[in-house]
Amino acid sequence: MKTQIVDINNAAELDAFVEAHENGHFMQTSLWGKVKSDWKWFGIICRNDSGEITGTLAVLLRKISKLPYHMMYGVRGPVCAFDDKETFSALISAAKEEGKKYNAYELKIDKDVPIDNKEYEAMALAEGFKFKGRTVNFEDYQCRCVIRIHLNGRTEDEVFAAFHSDHRRKIRNAIKNNVEIKIHGSEMADTFYELMKETCERDGFSLRSAKYFANILDCFGDKARLYMAYYEGTPIAGAISVLWGDKVWYFYGASSNSERKVMPNHLLQW
């Protein structure tokens, strides 16, 4: 196995691999590095003896204030087969070696792995990682558990029919109440921010800036969308989604405290 370090302006090959790989994640791309512009970014490409890419790892570095040390974060990485110990080990070793240049004291990863895959946990522990115990809310950088819905080639009608009857009723109720869904870009980031502010105050989440939401939409271009739900011409809910490879992530969602009776969130998700 051979590894190669790439910078954020020379990561096209890494991004293409992450897009094509079944375990790819949009946060493992250079585009996410551009969103997180206050962090330093580097990527690692691992190749076999035939020169084929077997895995990649994108790493963010955050300097510790007033100290000569950095924390390294391989958000949702690395990208490789879950049982490929050789590639996993090569990527982690390369990250550790590169981290020496920055006096890195820690490498954190939080790969989105099926919860019953204990072999992956064992592989990480063998490389020196410590597994963090159960968390309840949002103590981690990313959500500890996420739900993935496999469409499996189903039609729109088949997906809709699989919903609980109450969910179908609420979607139809939003349509009946003339809730309208529009797709926007970063020009509506300030409006989404105001909805997010209401949501965070209501549910106790930490709040990102309007610029942060705009950066996501601008950096990912046509692979990111801001969906907004309107009622009587007023935006009352919104959601940011990101497409990468064969998956779409529901990334951020927000809703107003008013007009909740018209069920905008249900239609927005649908």
CA distance 169 to 259: 17
Tell me the domains of the chain and their CATH numbers: 2-126 (3.40.630.30), 158-269 (3.40.630.30)
CA distance 112 to 25: 9
CA distance 21 to 246: 9
CA distance 111 to 6: 21
Please tell me the least confidently modeled range out of 139-143, 146-150, 163-167.
139-143
CA 160 to chain centre: 25
Mean pLDDT of the chain: 94
- Phi then psi for residue 262, to 5 deg, are -90, 5
- Identify the band that residue 219 occupies on the pLDDT scale cut at 50, 70 and 90: very high
Q: Residue 149, exposed/middle/buried by CB under 10 A (0-12, 13-18, 19+)?
A: exposed
Residue-level pLDDT at 190: 97
| Pair 28, 79: CB distance under 8 Å | yes
User: Is the model's pLDDT at 218 over the cut of 80?
Assistant: yes
| Pair 32, 14: CB distance under 8 Å | no
Helix-then-strand count for the chain, H and E: 9, 9
Rounded percentage of the chain residues whose pLDDT exceeds 70: 97
Q: What is the CA radius of gyration of the chain?
A: 20
More confidently predicted of 54 and 134:
54
**Measured CA distances, 250 to 46, 60, 124, 199, 246 (Å):** 29, 22, 27, 16, 14
Residue-level pLDDT at 134: 67
> Running DSSP on this structure, what letter comes out for residue 64?
P
| Pair 72, 95: CB distance under 8 Å | yes
Residue-level pLDDT at 131: 86
Q: Tell me the per-residue pLDDT of 238-257, one tens digit each, with 9 for 90 and over.
A: 999 999 999 999 999 999 99
User: Is the model's pLDDT at 136 over the cut of 80?
Assistant: no
User: Is the model's pLDDT at 139 over the cut of 80?
Assistant: no
User: Is the model's pLDDT at 140 over the cut of 70?
Assistant: no
CA distance 238 to 198: 12
Residue-level pLDDT at 204: 83
3-state class (DSSP) for residue 153: coil
CA distance 55 to 79: 5
| Pair 250, 269: CB distance under 8 Å | yes
Beta strands in the chain (DSSP E): 2-6, 40-47, 53-63, 70-74, 104-109, 180-184, 224-231, 234-244, 247-255
- Identify the band that residue 135 occupies on the pLDDT scale cut at 50, 70 and 90: low
Residue-level pLDDT at 112: 93
User: Is the model's pLDDT at 138 over the cut of 60?
Assistant: no
CA distance 178 to 173: 9
Residue-level pLDDT at 205: 81
